[in-house]
Amino acid sequence: MRLRVLRLRDARTLEHLILTNRPWLRPWEATLPDAPMSFDIKAQIRGLLRQMDQDQGIPFAIEYRGQVVGQLNVANILYGSVSSAIIGYWVAPEVAGRGITPTAVALTIDYLLNQLGLHRVEIAIRPENTASLRVVEKLGLRFEGTKERYIHINGDWRDHYLFAITAEEIRGGLLNRWMQKKVPAMKYPWH
């Protein structure tokens, strides 16, 4: 498994992954209120790369065995007194459950906290998205509550659970903590 910055030439591969996995991805895809669904992946990548140029985000391609199998985006990077970011991710169904997504999330969080010097990383997940909930559970991110009607997803405003982790919670690195099976037991609303 490898993470790398998304490139414009990844557009065709991502478009193929998204279109061939519609039933898997559509329930979790962000949409624009009162706008048709857009598959202009090149425009989306250009927008994400502009955010990276402005130090506001980082778009990553998730690769497995040399093939792009998903995407992880860092958004809303803030420095100074807030010093935080938000991440979101998806992978193709054929690689789900293989530890690829938690590894990608842990690597990204370690990079954000240890290399960029951020203090906090958040992940928002729909309560129905059991696969993504399993990722934060495996990594031991702290549940912070529910944000009602938080993100426009699949045509409507949807509630999201909010999870977070701070630099103080994972001084030795999140990936190390997970790989060494030292993730603390956490209380989650679905248990």
Task: Give the domain CATH number at 127.
Answer: 3.40.630.30
Task: Give the residue-averaged pLDDT of 110-117.
Answer: 97
42 belongs to a structural domain: yes
185 belongs to a structural domain: no
Element holding 60 (H helix, E strand): strand 58-64
189 belongs to a structural domain: no
17 belongs to a structural domain: yes
Residue span of the structural domain in which 151 resides: 2-179
pLDDT at residue 155, as a whole number: 83
75 belongs to a structural domain: yes
184 belongs to a structural domain: no
- Average pLDDT over the chain, rounded to an integer: 94
pLDDT at residue 1, as a whole number: 94
**pLDDT bucket at 32, cuts 50 / 70 / 90:** confident
Strands 58-64 and 2-5: antiparallel
CA distance 133 to 140: 11
Q: What percent of the chain has pLDDT over 90?
A: 83
Task: Give the residue-averaged pLDDT of 136-155.
Answer: 94
**pLDDT bucket at 134, cuts 50 / 70 / 90:** very high
pTM of the prediction?
Answer: 0.94
Contact predicate 131/122, CB 8 Å: no
Tell me: pLDDT of 35 over 80. no
Q: What is the DSSP letter of 115?
A: I
168 belongs to a structural domain: yes
60 belongs to a structural domain: yes
Q: How many domains does the chain have?
A: 1
